[in-house]
Amino acid sequence: MTDLETRAARPGAGALRRAAPALLGYAAVRALGLLALALWSAARDKSAYTLLTARWDALWYTRVAELGYGYEVRLPNGDVHSNLAFFPLLPWLERALAAVTPLSYADAGFVVALLASLAAAWGIFAVADHVYGRRAGVCAVVLWAVLPVGIVQSMAYSESLFTALAAWSLYAVLTGRWLTAGTLALLAGLTRPVGLAVVAAVWAAGIAWFVRERNAARVGSAHTGERAPDPAVGARPRRVPAAGGAWNPSRAVGVRARCALGMLLAPLGAAGYVLWVGHRTGRGPLGYLDVQAGWRNGFDGGYAFARFVADKFTSFPSALAGVGLIVGVGLLIRLYVVCVRQRQPLPLLVYAGVVTALALCASSYFGSKPRLLLPAFPLLFPLALALARLRTRRTVLVVGAVALASAVYGAFWLNGSGPP
């Protein structure tokens, strides 16, 4: 058995022990961020807890949990903000937790976010550890924690929940657990519109698996010990032996059935909610697009974002912001190119590519784009690999400095414009 397979086969308790350094590092970074927010908010006579649980989208989610769907706000300019824009899984969890505990819906949302953020950190570690090893996995988790908008991971928003579902779905794909991958993709599709990225990753990996399995089947019966295709394109193939050591066609049939069923399950969450919204609004499949249009959200291939950046160059002070935006987008593209060159498994490349494309090419509020990119954790893997090569002392110093800067920025951000 290869080292890669050994990591994938560890039992739950052993997996938790292996992930413990990453989870402890993540918890420390998030605790620092919350402490900075509490101190900054107190100095401005604001409630840090209110900023985390009862502002912006968090308030909309708790309204869905409390009142159900159908609430909307009509603005003076004619726009209609409907709570149908918000996918249902987080409100369902808020309602369920509030029903069995003394917590309010807002409190329940905060608890779900905290638990989901830890699950997301563990999932990111599992994926990175599976592909690159334990040290890179720890570095990937810490880098995700110290992102400038990392404070969102502790808010009653759906980013942490979605990232947890996405990460574990991708891990299930990489380890050949197709039914688990499809089920988690279904749930991710009930969490955010970007759940399409998880569906695309599952489908891309499934199609690639079928192609490789068919090719292996052609020669498997003629060669003892033929290697069956691995679900993670770009990772090492695994042996699927029969009792006598030869490639096992009957077992391959079972895997094929699970792969197909996982692929069928994956899109049901997103498709089901979009179709339900269309039925409720009477607009059919276009109903959800109409709801998003009321929020001035849509997909225009990046035209609105390009105009937003171009408008920054109309004056000197704002031109600096325009340059920063261009540099930031360039760095994102550069990171993705590096991911491709480092031969990340296909599902990770597809997932990160779709998340990035949807974030940059949407015509939504431009200040939310860093938050929308938060789930694109595979883009951090090249940086995690570079960080893992440093000596431990230097790594701790670098991460500590960045964590402090991120905590201060998060406190400043939420006490200012904050995430929309």
pLDDT at residue 123, as a whole number: 97
Q: What is the pLDDT of residues 317-329, one digit of tens each?
A: 777 877 888 888 8
Q: What is the pLDDT of residues 240-262, one digit of tens each?
A: 333 334 445 556 677 888 999 99
**CB crowding 28-51: b at 16 or more within 10 Å, else e:** ebbebbbebbbebbeeeeeebeeb
pLDDT at residue 238, as a whole number: 41
* Position 68, amino acid: G
pLDDT at residue 158, as a whole number: 96
The 10 Å Cβ neighbour count of residue 178 is: 26
DSSP class of residue 417 equals T
Q: What pTM was computed for the model? A: 0.90
Q: What is the pLDDT of residues 383-420, one digit of tens each?
A: 999 999 999 889 899 999 999 999 999 999 999 877 76
Lowest model confidence (mean pLDDT) among 77-91, 97-111, 303-317, 381-395: 303-317
* Position 315, amino acid: S
Query: Does the pLDDT at position 374 exceed 80?
Result: yes
Contacts of 260 (CB under 8 A, 6+ apart): 206
pLDDT at residue 6, as a whole number: 43
CB-based contact 410:36 (threshold 8 Å): yes
Give domain limits for the chain. Answer: 3-414
Q: Which helix (H) or strand (E) holds 238?
A: strand 238-239
How many percent of the chain have pLDDT more than 90? 64
What are residue 82's DSSP bridge partners?
72
Q: What is the pLDDT of residues 151-209, one digit of tens each?
A: 999 999 999 999 999 999 999 999 999 999 999 999 999 999 999 999 999 999 999 99
Under DSSP, is residue 80 helix (H, G, I), strand (E, B) or coil?
A: strand
The torsion of the CA quartet 66, 159, 399, 338, rounded to 10 degrees, works out to 180
